[in-house]
Amino acid sequence: MTKPSWIQIDPSQIIFQAGSAGKSSPFTAPHQIPKAIRGFYDEGQCVFVLELRYPDDEDFKRERQDASICFRLGKNSRRLLGLELTKAPLLKKSGGRVGTPEVNRIEQAVRKLIKQEPVHKEKENYTLAIKAIESGKKLLARELVEHL
């Protein structure tokens, strides 16, 4: 399996968008801001994987939200490092269509995670992750169409 190239993200744009929504501070730590995003289908796991890249590397642990979405959260930081989307439930909910509706579902899942998370620094990271996902929405939707 060849993973696609990373989609670079303009960190200043993400902070501006999140800050204008009142969700991020102008003093956001650089390690909280996603630098790039990519999506690909993992044939071995039978899941669509969305990954967020940060300035530093960190191992992740999986936390299942529901039958179709599993979060990849940093073991120490709880930053959102990625998501895994199970193919069948997504296709069933979208009537067999793929693309933007699934990317919207990802955003909804992260917003739900924000509500569940008690610590402010994680909420800020998740808000920034949503903005990163929004900035790569068209390319991610294209990857979903090709692989689901």
> E strands within the chain?
7-8, 36-42, 47-53, 60-64, 69-74, 80-86
Residue 8 pLDDT more than 80? yes
Inter-axis angle of helices 100-116 and 120-135, nearest 10: 170
Cα separation, 52 vs 33, whole angstroms = 10
pLDDT at 119: 66
Nearest CA-CA partner of 32 in 128, 112, 109: 128
More confident residue, 37 or 144: 37
Q: What percent of the chain has pLDDT over 90?
A: 14
pLDDT at 96: 41
Predicted TM-score (pTM) of this structure? 0.73
Is residue 28 within 8 Å of residue 15, measured between CB atoms? yes
145 alpha carbon, distance to own chain's centre: 17
Q: What is the pLDDT of residues 117-137, one digit of tens each?
A: 766 667 888 888 888 877 766
User: From residue 25, how far is each of 4, 30, 43, 76, 92 by CA, in Å?
Assistant: 32, 12, 39, 22, 39
Task: Report residue 103: phi and psi, to 5°.
Answer: -65, -40
CB atoms closer than 10 angstroms to residue 134: 15
Cα separation, 144 vs 20, whole angstroms = 29
